A and B are shown apart, each in its own frame.
Chain A
């Protein structure tokens, strides 16, 4: 049996890419503050990289009490093994109660490897985290393609680990007057276990816009069908000063790149206004957008599930309506 009371503190894995701290990490620090206050414990940010120590202030301003900084050439780029060694070293030294990791292509590679090395539980893609009366972490996540929600606990193992998708938690506004401490961590790397070599990292030319940051989204579904329909939607979005997103069907058809897909296998969005144009509302799609502030849906099928989450639903020809809306708006 492990001595559970020896494990204290809410730890966040800080994801940086080329020295740039990713928003999801700041969101997690925001949530960690919440949890740490319920537990009366501290928020620790695990900052891993090469020449990244200068970023510690940003993390403190966003809510970290302690920054554990592992600065080493071995951590220049993300690779599974060096990062796993570094995180496991920190866990063994500092004994966290909770570890939160962003559910990105990095976090979802690192998290399971770390949990297996530590032989502890990991809950993926949590949408809600809270502390129970017994001071345990309650981790709620969707399952069955978003059809079911499950609350998971990790009773007898520490740390309690979870990954959280970008855009699900809210970061705190930066406060430069916040005080915190930085501790340098020296990781004793076992380099003989570094077996994967990074040849190159390629950024593909994509629109830099991240739909999860958008205030207004115009989202198109199967109902807009072809490239002509898409053009109507794009014109309307431009007039409205909105970003364009899409359902899986449209992305699979190759009309819109994957980074603009909303839903279970795409992104979670919560804009002030979400226009669902010709989207019927598969459960996977609803999971990614139902928390939007105000939802307008246009669809020809009045029984479409999208109308169960929309605030304003219009049964009709999506293309015609969008076209006319655009003309009226331009006047």
Chain B
């Protein structure tokens, strides 16, 4: 069994703060991590490796420093790592990103392609299904659980707003995984030591199979027209008083607003 997992290096957005006076982002010192949904996807692949001796390839697209997430994946137990990077990929929106990744994936064999549902820096949930379309593969998104029959068929639990669905699909197929679905294992000590001696394959435009016109900024149908911080809403009244007085203030406000 062969599995490919797509992972992305993202800034830990829960650590990003806003400068309260200027309303701008403070990005300094924000750590980079493996996107949480992708990390759950990695764990899904590793459980299949434990059970079915699957071979796992991870692939990431991004700048030089994205190497770190591939090393972390090695330390968790993956077999092969590919770092996709080229100036031609720069400025890509989700569609152009999915074309670049699909171009690389055409060069790989797999029974299961795993992506996270969405990345915390963009929250679009688009790249996984878009890759599936380019490769003409079936997709199941919002994966909560997966069972494999050891031959061909995957039985997948897909989360919905008011419950779940059970779906069946034969490989090769694409799944997008929710961060809560699989709790990632820790890196093992030997893995950490070895991770930096393992070879990460560097792939650029020359190594992949895709129409150049579909890549990067040129291949992106959407453009950022403008970006702005949310700004700061004027704060209301603030009281630091004892409990009794606080209750009184809230009560009179509720009366004023005709709530009670």
A residues with a Cβ closer than 8 A to B are 80-81, 84, 104-106, 108-109, 111-113, 115-117, 119-125, 138, 142-157, 195-204, 206, 216, 240, 259, 264, 272-273, 282-284, 287, 290, 294-296, 298, 302, 307-317, 320-321, 324-325, 328-329
Contacts and interface: CB of A to CB of B under 8 A. Distances in A.
B187 interface: no
B193 interface: no
Contacts of B246: 298, 314, 316, 321
Contact of A112 (B94, B168, B239): B94
Main secondary structure on chain A at its contact with chain B?
mixed
Nearest to A298: B246
B121 A145 contact: yes
Interface string B120-136: 11111111111011100
A283 to B, nearest CB: 7
8 contacts: A112-B129, A115-B130, A138-B225, A151-B225, A206-B162, A273-B259, A311-B236, A314-B241
Contact of A195 (B121, B128, B134, B169): B169
Between A84, A143, A204, A287, the greatest number of chain B beta carbons within 10 A of the residue's beta carbon is seen for A143
B138 interface: yes
Interface of B: 11, 13-14, 16-18, 20, 25, 93-95, 98, 120-130, 132-134, 138-142, 155, 158-170, 173, 220-230, 232-233, 235-244, 246-247, 249-251, 253-254, 257, 259-260
Main secondary structure on chain B at its contact with chain A?
mixed
Contacts of B168: 196-197, 199
Contacts of B169: 195-197
B140 A196 contact: yes
Given A81-B138, A307-B238, A311-B237, A144 B167 contact: no
Contacts of B126: 111-112, 115, 122, 124
A310 B221 contact: no
A143 B121 contact: yes
Given A105-B160, A113-B129, A294-B257, A147 B230 contact: yes
B81 to A, nearest CB: 26
B250 to A, nearest CB: 6
A241 to B, nearest CB: 9
Contacts of A106: 160
B32 to A, nearest CB: 13
A206 B169 CA distance: 28
Contacts of A111: 126
A80 B259 contact: no
